[in-house]
Structure 1
Amino acid sequence: MGILMGIFAPEVIVQCLITIKYIVSQLIKFTIPLLILFYVTSGIAGLPKNSGKLLGKTVGLAYLSTLGAGLFAYAVASGLFPVLLHGAGHLPEAHTAIKPFLQLRIPPMMNIMTALTIAFIFGLGISNHDAGELRTVSNQGRDIIEMFLNKVMIPALPFYIAGVFADITVKGTVFATLKTFSLVLLAIIVMHWIWLTIQFCSAGIILRHSPMKILHRMMPAYFTAVGTMSSAATVPVTLQQTKRNGVSGPVANFVVPLCANIHMSGSVISIAGVAVAVMLMSGTTALPTLLQALPFLAMLGITMVAAPGAPGGAVMASAGLLGSMLGFTEEMIALQIVLHLAQDSFGTACNVTGDGVIALFIDRMTTHEEIAGDDDLQEAPVSINDSLYSE
């Protein structure tokens, strides 16, 4: 509709769409620090206090997988996309050809790094000192931000996207952009599949399982995530299929729900791949080397803790880092959001399917004594299976 309006609609209609796009972009920039503050604080504060070594292993392995996925995606995209997108055209200049009716600036309360720092300090403090009132505040703040996203931001996104495309149609770059979109989306989905292949082949070799068998058992979780676009909504299926892969009940009950919040390999592949494409299309930002992009990818893995529970939350949480660390303009962030949302379900599916691999590794690394020493795991309803790897 944005393209059609950009071609055929009167200028006043296009100006209305561009006004909506401008206001929504201001709200996005205002909301991102609050989203990170409350989601990260609530997530860290909610981590089990008495889960000791198992918690450390799970968080460490999930972060390494997320960071590895980002490095893989950035390396592949920076090598492939310059050839793939050669001659596809560039993004329009950062300024808007048709100005919005109302330029209402809504500055954020804090920057991204301030929000992250506060979230880590208070999240760890709440967890260690059992600060019940602060935990309630962080949880209620998270719920309010989620309600705002669900009631205001998400319903406004179609108009925002229409405004983006009406804008680039007026500027005459829409068809080159659409051609680029299709190539980038296909490449990113293939990168998801390659990363899953790497994960399951590694698990098969190290754990002496058949990679095809364990991947086959996780496919119901993959397809459920494609349909729901939510790691949290897919947890029951992921948990069931993980146990069918031989993971003990206590470990699966602990690892799968936790990884649904912290293991975002598919989302990071999507964000890193799209970011490379947008930088190449912009023609105004030099493409950083993999070493130069490492700080961004490392911070992105941490920031993804803020993504769960919010539809499209991964790209919303990353927008601040894209601007502050990679120099993205408002126009570049707008296209980043559009591209990410177009394949968000496949990134989520990659996330949850990889959770099964994390659970397999944690189950092999965990001893009966560690499980017995953790009060949270002792309460797990499923007993340990002594013949986990008999197949």
Structure 2
Amino acid sequence: MNIQSSGFFKNYSNILLLLLGIIIGSLVGLFSPDFVVHLKPIGDIFLNLLFTAVIPLIFFAIASAVASIDQGQKLGRILSTMMLVFLMTIIIAAVFTIFCVWLFPLGNQLADTTHANVSLNKGDQESWGERAVSFVTVNEFNQLLSREHMLAFIIFSFLVGIAALRSGAPGEPFRRFLSSGNEVMKNLLVYVMKLAPVGLGAYFAYQVGTVGPQLFGLYAKPMAVYYAGGLVYFFVFFSIYAFIGGGGRGIKLFWRNNILPSLTAISTCSSIAVIPPNLDAAKRIGIQEPVANVVIPLGASLHKNGSSMSSIIKIAVAFALMGKPFMEPGTLLLAIGLTVLVSIVAGGIPNGGYIGEMLMISAYHLPIEAVPAVMIIGTLVDPMATLLNATGDTVAAMIVDRWVKQ
């Protein structure tokens, strides 16, 4: 009995401590909302350490994975399978959300929020060509190290891995360096994550204390539709995907190892911050390392089930505010198309979907007065959206891993 108890705490002590920190933080945010401002710096310190460490981790994880791919794990097959899985799950998430909105229509009773004080970024005035260039490239090497250029950084890491793979014998020392760097950075993340119970607890307290009250305000109905639909998608569809990826055993392995990534996602509202626990979960699940190291970091920027669902909710809210019908074939087809684009446009950082929201407003030629409403919705759904975005990468990697092996 004592041996079993000791083994349980050894295996789950980190998760139990993290849960304790989040519970304490939630209670502080709920009962002392004025005090959470003093706790936010603690959470920011933890996030800064995490974000600083995750940049080199992404580089070494992607570059080493690509550089070590052998003939039995061809890069083209991994990438093509990955993109198929990403596209499939994003569209399924969008169609499911449309069904939820049809089942529980938002109506035209939403309060007028056109006077909300939400500022637009200067970048929203850029042309589509300029945006496309800025998404995939930068003009200075040092800019690659910024979270604002994560997609460009991932592409660069990917190209370095290809160059190392094609370098033959002269590139062997560099390939060993990439592999060694990957192990070092994973160990660094282990040390950083030891601060998670305090850091995430403080950050969670700030979220509950500042954003929590708005959940019961003007946006209660769309929030209820999104969070209820998100929970159904999280438990039901992710279980289905896990079954596709590993059968009945895959379901057990996924949920057993998805606790820490889920808590990290809800607490930080950042897909990038969930990359380290996702990679660790993938290892425990048994996903091949080359597959996990490619799919999970790329998924943080390109694969967003939660953003797919939230874009549908935002469009429905905007149409309700403007008194326009949403359930029309042309509107719905464009909405599904936009979800794919938003999954690429929206960054893996907190509140990174503002450009995607502007894309939606522009595509439907909606008045600028609809912008504050969809931005507020975007902020309020961020915890659930990040949960679906980030943890969906692991279950997607399970499917890719199984299909690549066939």
TM-score range, shorter chain: 0.5 to 0.7
**Aligned: 1:351 with 2:389:** yes
- 8 Å CA contact 2:93–2:233 kept in 1: the answer is yes
Q: Secondary structure at the match of 1:208?
A: helix
**Aligned: 1:77 with 2:131:** no
Which residues in structure 2 correspond to 1:73-152 (within 5 Å)? Answer: 73-82=97-106, 85=107, 88-91=109-112, 109-111=125-127, 113-115=128-130, 123=136, 136-137=139-140, 140=143, 143=146
Distance in 2, Cα, partners of 1:71 & 1:228: 27
- 8 Å CA contact 1:81–1:277 kept in 2: the answer is no
- 8 Å CA contact 1:319–1:333 kept in 2: the answer is yes
1:52 is matched with: 76
Deviation at 1:205, TM superposition (A): 5.2
1:5-59 alpha-carbon deviations (Å, 9 max, x no partner): xxxxxxxxxxxxxxxxxxxxxxxxxxxxxxxxxxxxxxxxx99698322112112
- 8 Å CA contact 2:314–2:377 kept in 1: the answer is yes
Q: Secondary structure at the match of 2:239?
A: helix
1:198 is matched with: 237
Q: 1:298 aligns with which of 329, 337, 350?
A: 337
- 8 Å CA contact 2:326–2:332 kept in 1: the answer is no
Q: 2:92 aligns with which of 59, 68, 81?
A: 68
Distance in 1, Cα, partners of 2:358 & 2:304: 17
Question: What is the number of residues matched between the two proteins?
Answer: 276
Distance in 2, Cα, partners of 1:360 & 1:104: 39
Deviation at 1:179, TM superposition (A): 4.6
Which residues in structure 2 correspond to 1:252-267 (within 5 Å)? Answer: 252-267=292-307
Deviation at 1:297, TM superposition (A): 2.5
Deviation at 1:344, TM superposition (A): 0.2
Q: 2:248 aligns with which of 205, 209, 213?
A: 209
Q: 2:273 aligns with which of 205, 230, 233?
A: 233
Bigger mean CA deviation after superposition, 359-368 or 302-311? 302-311
Distance in 1, Cα, partners of 2:88 & 2:131: 19
Alignment-mate amino acid for residue 303 of structure 2 = H
Bigger mean CA deviation after superposition, 243-252 or 259-268? 243-252
- 8 Å CA contact 2:245–2:402 kept in 1: the answer is no
- 8 Å CA contact 1:266–1:347 kept in 2: the answer is yes
- 8 Å CA contact 1:285–1:327 kept in 2: the answer is no
Distance in 2, Cα, partners of 1:53 & 1:254: 12
Q: Residues 360 and 325 (structure 1 numbering): CA distance in 2 closer, same or farther, change over 3 Å?
A: same
Distance in 1, Cα, partners of 2:224 & 2:329: 22
1:70-124 alpha-carbon deviations (Å, 9 max, x no partner): 2221232133124xx57x45426x6x69x9xxx999796544x44466568xx5x
Q: Which runs of 5+ in 2 are unaligned?
A: 1-62, 70-74, 151-209
1:319 is matched with: 357
Alignment-mate amino acid for residue 367 of structure 2 = T
- Following TM superposition, the consecutive aligned residue runs of length 4 or more in structure 1 with deviations greater than 3 angstroms are 46-50, 103-111, 113-120, 134-139, 141-147, 177-180
- 8 Å CA contact 1:218–1:242 kept in 2: the answer is no
Q: Higher helix share goes to which structure?
A: 2
- 8 Å CA contact 1:274–1:339 kept in 2: the answer is yes
Alignment-mate amino acid for residue 204 of structure 1 = F
1:315-338 alpha-carbon deviations (Å, 9 max, x no partner): x12122222222332222101111
Distance in 2, Cα, partners of 1:261 & 1:74: 23
Q: Residues 233 and 144 (structure 1 numbering): CA distance in 2 closer, same or farther, change over 3 Å?
A: closer
1:109-157 alpha-carbon deviations (Å, 9 max, x no partner): 544x44466568xx5xxxxxxxxxx65448728949679xxxxxxxxxx
Distance in 2, Cα, partners of 1:179 & 1:146: 35
Deviation at 1:223, TM superposition (A): 1.0
Bigger mean CA deviation after superposition, 220-229 or 289-298? 289-298
1:250 is matched with: 290
1:23 is matched with: none
Could you say what the CA RMSD is over the residues aligned between the two structures, in angstroms? 4.0
Q: Residues 307 and 89 (structure 1 numbering): CA distance in 2 closer, same or farther, change over 3 Å?
A: closer
1:332 is matched with: 370
- 8 Å CA contact 2:90–2:308 kept in 1: the answer is yes
- Normalising by the residue count of structure 1, what TM-score does the alignment of the two structures yield? 0.60
Distance in 2, Cα, partners of 1:212 & 1:203: 9
1:373 is matched with: none
Identical positions, percent: 19
Alignment-mate amino acid for residue 188 of structure 1 = Y
Q: Secondary structure at the match of 2:347?
A: coil
2:313 is matched with: 273
**Aligned: 1:366 with 2:387:** no
**Aligned: 1:187 with 2:192:** no
Alignment-mate amino acid for residue 99 of structure 2 = A
- Normalising by the residue count of structure 2, what TM-score does the alignment of the two structures yield? 0.58
Deviation at 1:303, TM superposition (A): 3.2
Distance in 1, Cα, partners of 2:120 & 2:77: 50
